[in-house]
Structure 1
Amino acid sequence: MNGIPTSHQPLPVRISSAAADLETIGPLLSGAQDAVGDVPALLELAKAAAAAAPKPGDGRTAFLWEILASVTAVDVAAGRALEPHLDAVAILAQAGDDAARHGRDCPDPDNADFEGTWGVFAAEAPGLRLEAKESADGWILQGSKPWCSLAAQLDHAVLTAHLETGGRAAFAVDLHAHGVGFANPAWTSRGLREIPSGTVHFETVPAVPLGGPGWYYQRPGFAWGGMGVAACWLGGAVAVARSFADSLRHAADGGREPDQIALAHLGEIDRTLAALTAYLAGTAARIDAGELSDRGAWQEALRVRGSVAAAVERVQTLVSQNLGPAPLAFDERYGKRMADLALYIRQHHAMRDDAQLGALALAESNPW
C-alpha cells in the first residue's frame, strides 16, 4: 500500500445536506465498499438505492448528487454502476408524468414488468444504427446500439432509436426479450474493467415508447441527469484528494513534513473542491426551485460538467505529480481509482462541449 493509510469507514461527500441526512447513506457506502469488483452485488445495491434516493427536481436534488458522489468516492466503478440505474428510474417517472399530462400510456416504474436493473443507452457510433418502427402490434426495434455498459447483466434499458420520420425517440426495452443479442465487448481498458461497454443487437424486439419524438433530449431531466454524472466525477476527485491528504498526514507522522509545493497543491485542491461543491449546491437548489426546468437547463449542465471535468483532471495531475509513481505501481486502490476516473470523465467531450456552450453564450444574454 506504499504506506498510504485507508479509511475503514467510508465517508460521504457533502454538497449541502445536513450531517444527519448524510449519516443515513452510511449503510449504502459500506455496501459499496464490500461490493467492490462484484458487479452483481453492485447492481443489487443500485436497486436498493433507487428505493430511497430522491429523483432530480423533486426537492432533494443535492441529496441525490451526494449519494452519487459518495458512492463514487468509495469506488468509481460502483458509482458508474449506480448512476444509470437511478437515471433510468428518473426517466421512467418523467415519461409517466408527461404521459399523464397528455393522456398517453407509459410504463410504470413500479410495475412488476419493469422491475430489475436498468441501463441507459443513448450513444451513437459510425456504422451502427438502431431504428424504431411502429407496427400494428406496437413499436419494434431493429439494428445495433453501441456503448451499452453492462448490458448482458441488466434486465432492462432506456435507449434511444432513430425514427422513420426523422429524429430519435426513447424507448424502454426488456433485455431478456427474444431477438436481443450481446456482442462480446473487446474491452481492454485498464479503467472500469468491471464495467465493460459493448454493442447490443436488436432483431424485431418489442419496445415501449417514452415521451415522444425528441422528448428524451428536450426534457429538463436530460440536463439534470448529465449533472448527476458530474456529481459522480466530483466524488472520484474527492477520493483522490482524500488519499493525497492522508498520505501527507501519514508522512508527517513518520517525521517527513510536507514541503511548500505539496502544501500549495493541497491548498489548490481544497479551494477547487470547495468551489465545486458550492456551485453544485446552488445549482441543485435552482433545479428544485424550478429555475432550470426548460431547455436552458442544458446550458447550465454544460457549465457544471465542464467545470467538474476540468477540476478532476487538475486534481489528478496535482496528486500524481506529488505522490509519484509508487502508489500507481503498488497501491491497488489508488491505481484503480485513477484509471477508472480517467476513463469515466471522458464522457465529457472537452472542447467540443465548450464549443457548444460558447454557441449558446453567443446566441443568448449571458449571466456574467
Structure 2
Amino acid sequence: MRGAEVVGDLRQRISAGELELPRPGEGSTLQRWRALAELTRSNVVLGRLAEGHADADAILHELGGSRTWTAAGRDQLWGVWAAEPPRPRLSASRAESGELWRLDGTKLWCSGAHHCTHALVTASVDADPGASGKRLFAVDLRQPGIRAVPDSWHAVGMAASDSGAVEFSDAVAEPVGVPGGYVNRPGFWQGGIGVAACWYGGATGVADTLFDQAGRRDDDLTRAHLGAVQVSLGAAWAVLEQAATAIDEDPKDERGTGKIRAFTARATAESSAATVIDHVGRALGAGPLCSDPAHAGRVADLGVYIRQSHAERDLAELGSLLVEGGSPW
C-alpha cells in the first residue's frame, strides 16, 4: 500500500476504536503486543505508525497528559518524535503566560510527518533555569508554524512511513510530565519492547511467504529453512511472553530489571527478524523479491525498521548492565 492508503487504513482503525489497546503493565501487556504484531504482519508501515499512536496514548496516560490531552482521541493520529541526534536541534522556551511553551528548530525522524495530527516531541529546554535538559511536549501539528520538510525522507524501505524532518517556528506546545520524565519512567522501556513486538510481527509476515511455498514443494532444504525460521520466531515470541508477564507483575519496575528486559527482548526480536529475512531469501531465491511486490516491500520495510536498534551499542550497554548488576541466570 502507498502511504496515503496505509494512513487511511490506520485512521479507520483508530476511529473504530481498534487502537485502544491495553496499556503496558495493566495485566494484558501480551495482548497489546500481539495486536501490534498482527498489524505489522499485515503491513510493516501500518504496524510502525500504529505503534507510535498507541505509544503516545500510553505515555499521556503514564505521565498524566497535558492540559488539553490525556489520551489519543479517535479523530487523531499521534506520533512520538523523540530521536535526539546531535544536530539539528529543537528548542523549547516558555511563552509569556508560563503555562504554554514555544518550539523552534527542526526535528528529524518524524514518522508520519505529513499525516499525523498530533505528536509528543522531545525538545531542549536548557535556556530555562527551572527546567534544564530534555522535556516532552504535546503538540497539535495542524497549527501555523509547523511544516513537514519535503524531500527529507529518501528511504526505499519504509518509504510510506514518511519519517522525514519537521520544522517548528514559534509553535505552541504543552509540557507532558517533568523534565527528564519521558525517559526516566518504566514505560520508556516497556514501549521499547512494543517496538520489538512489531519487529516480530513483520518477521512473521516475511515468513508467511516461505510457509506458503514450503507447502507446495517436496523439498527438504526448503523445509529445513522453514524449520530454522520457526526456531527463531518461537524463541523471539517466548522472550516477549516472558517480558509481558514480568511487566504485568512489576509494572513500576520496582525490581529494576526493566532496562535489561528491554535490551534483551529488542536484541532477540531484531536477530530473529534478520534471521528470517536471510532464511527466506536463501530458501526461495530472488523470485519473490522480484515478482511479489507485497513480499518485496515487506522485506525492504522490515530491513529498515529493525535499524531502529542500535545494534552492538545496545549489546554493549546490555553487557555493562549485566556486569554491574550480576548474572541474571
Q: Would you call these one fold, judging by a TM-score over 0.5?
A: yes
Once residues 248 and 69 of structure 1 are traced to their aligned partners in structure 2, the CA distance between those partners, rounded to angstroms, is: 23
Corresponding residue to 1:130 among 84, 87, 90: 90
1:81: Cα distance to partner?
A: 1.6
Once residues 11 and 307 of structure 2 are traced to their aligned partners in structure 1, the CA distance between those partners, rounded to angstroms, is: 23
Corresponding residue to 2:81 among 104, 107, 121: 121
Q: Which amino acid aligns with 1:120?
A: V
Correspondences of 1:1-80 after superposition (within 5 Å): 37-49=5-17, 52-80=20-48
Once residues 311 and 222 of structure 1 are traced to their aligned partners in structure 2, the CA distance between those partners, rounded to angstroms, is: 22
Contact 2:3 2:162 in 1 (8 A): no
1:262: Cα distance to partner?
A: 2.4
**Structure 1 residues 46, 82: CA separation in 2 closer, same or farther (over 3 Å shift)?**
farther
Once residues 312 and 36 of structure 1 are traced to their aligned partners in structure 2, the CA distance between those partners, rounded to angstroms, is: 26
1:178: Cα distance to partner?
A: 2.1
1:46: Cα distance to partner?
A: 3.7
1:221: Cα distance to partner?
A: 0.5
Contact 1:36 1:75 in 2 (8 A): no
Correspondences of 1:242-261 after superposition (within 5 Å): 242-251=208-217, 257-259=218-220, 261=221
Q: Which residue of 2 aligns with 1:173?
A: 139
Q: Which residue of 2 aligns with 1:290?
A: 250
1:135-179 C-alpha deviation (Å, 9 max, x unpaired): 332221111111111122111100101112532011101101221
**Structure 1 residues 296, 69: CA separation in 2 closer, same or farther (over 3 Å shift)?**
same
Aligned residues: 322
Contact 1:46 1:86 in 2 (8 A): no
User: What SS does structure 2 have at the residue aligned with 1:148?
Assistant: coil
**Structure 1 residues 240, 290: CA separation in 2 closer, same or farther (over 3 Å shift)?**
same
User: What SS does structure 1 have at the residue aligned with 2:151?
Assistant: coil
Contact 1:236 1:341 in 2 (8 A): yes
**Structure 1 residues 70, 34: CA separation in 2 closer, same or farther (over 3 Å shift)?**
farther
Once residues 35 and 67 of structure 1 are traced to their aligned partners in structure 2, the CA distance between those partners, rounded to angstroms, is: 21
1:213-253 C-alpha deviation (Å, 9 max, x unpaired): 110001111101110000000011111222101101123xx
Once residues 75 and 174 of structure 2 are traced to their aligned partners in structure 1, the CA distance between those partners, rounded to angstroms, is: 15
Q: Which amino acid aligns with 1:226?
A: G
Q: Which runs of 5+ in 2 are unaligned?
A: none
Corresponding residue to 1:322 among 278, 283, 290: 283
Once residues 213 and 282 of structure 1 are traced to their aligned partners in structure 2, the CA distance between those partners, rounded to angstroms, is: 32
Once residues 333 and 200 of structure 1 are traced to their aligned partners in structure 2, the CA distance between those partners, rounded to angstroms, is: 29
Corresponding residue to 1:362 among 316, 319, 323: 323
Correspondences of 1:174-323 after superposition (within 5 Å): 174-251=140-217, 257-259=218-220, 261-290=221-250, 293-294=253-254, 296-323=257-284
1:11-50 C-alpha deviation (Å, 9 max, x unpaired): xxxxxxxxxxxxxxxxxxxxxx999943223233245345
Once residues 132 and 35 of structure 1 are traced to their aligned partners in structure 2, the CA distance between those partners, rounded to angstroms, is: 30
- What fraction of aligned residue pairs are identical, expressed as a percent? 38
Q: Which amino acid aligns with 1:135?
A: A
**TM norm structure 2:** 0.91
1:115: Cα distance to partner?
A: 5.1
Q: Which amino acid aligns with 2:107?
A: K
Q: Which residue of 1 aligns with 2:119?
A: 157
1:290: Cα distance to partner?
A: 1.2
Once residues 15 and 312 of structure 2 are traced to their aligned partners in structure 1, the CA distance between those partners, rounded to angstroms, is: 35
Once residues 278 and 30 of structure 2 are traced to their aligned partners in structure 1, the CA distance between those partners, rounded to angstroms, is: 27
Q: Which amino acid aligns with 1:270?
A: Q
Q: Which runs of 5+ in 1 are unaligned?
A: 1-32, 100-104, 252-256
Once residues 38 and 290 of structure 1 are traced to their aligned partners in structure 2, the CA distance between those partners, rounded to angstroms, is: 35
